[in-house]
Amino acid sequence: MIDLEKVLLNIVKPLCSDSESVTVKQMESLNANELLLYVYAPSEDIARLIGKKGLMANSIRQMLQVASKIENKHISIKFEAL
């Protein structure tokens, strides 16, 4: 079983200037086949993670969708500022 929370953290941490304050938490979802992940980071890093027109966020989501196909789960990723 792949720990998608850890995979997301390993993708996001190098992209942030304050990598020590970045956390990823898994939340419960109403759908059993959905995995809901929240990325918490300082606001200047959130802007970098989302990118212009959401391109960086969409790229991160696509990378995790590939990893989640093994688990037969759908992933939702939300970015929140600290």
Question: How many beta carbons lie within 10 A of that of residue 54, not counting itself?
Answer: 11
- Evaluate whether 79 touches 57 at the Cβ level (below 8 Å): yes
- What's the pLDDT at 45? 95
Residues 6+ apart with CB under 8 A from 68: 4, 35, 74, 75
Using one digit for the tens of pLDDT, what is the confidence trace for 7-42?
999 999 999 999 999 999 999 889 888 999 999 999
- Evaluate whether 64 touches 4 at the Cβ level (below 8 Å): yes
- What's the pLDDT at 8? 95
Q: In the structure, what pLDDT confidence band is assigned to residue 6 with cuts at 50, 70 and 90?
A: very high
Predicted TM-score (pTM) of the model is: 0.90
Q: What structural domains and CATH numbers belong to the chain?
A: 4-81 (3.30.300.20)
Per-residue pLDDT at 1 exceeds 70: no
